[in-house]
Amino acid sequence: MRMGDLDQVMEIENYSFPTPWRRHMYESDLRTNRQSRFYVLRDPIDNTVGAYSGTWFIYDEAHVGTIATGREHRGLRLAEQLLAYTALQAENEGLRYMILEVRTSNDAAIRLYERLGFMRVGIRRGYYTDTGEDAILMTCDNLHALASRLVVEEG
């Protein structure tokens, strides 16, 4: 992800989340946070941002802080590819597992994460301050298996 992607990222962010991250949060991570890894997937036809993710590589974990897909790109498994790419990068940097929080009401995301090998390991009570909703804490300790889902197209 580059600064020039932020207009499109913010459009997806505002559509996807009841309490979106603010632009300055992305700018700060992109400029100064050496632990942050922010990625985008672009539409091959018009080069627009189709999906993005933000992860922090801290000690032995990759903590996914945000991931979203644009409405016109949903159903194309872009989030799966972003997580697979992040797992590959994490594995290459010697990290041991990936962790994330997901709203208890986000059934589609929970199903995706479980299909990708994430396991429920806990609940963070009242985690989402906008609604007081709990978060399910999930981890994936097989980065290699997750990374193997990455589809690389030649050319």
| Sequence letter at residue 20 | P
E strands, the chain, in order: 36-42, 49-58, 61-69, 97-103, 119-128, 133-140
Active site residue 26: no
**What is the total residue count of the chain?**
155
Under 8 Å CB-to-CB from 63, ≥6 apart: which residues? 55, 56, 98, 99, 100
Active site residue 127: no
Query: CA dist 7 to 2, 11, 49, 86, Å?
Result: 10, 6, 10, 22
Which pair of structure tokens corresponds to residue 31?
A: 């400029």
Q: Which of 11, 61, 91, 101 is catalytic?
A: 101
Q: Which of 26, 52, 85, 113 is catalytic?
A: 113
Residues annotated as part of the active site = 101, 113
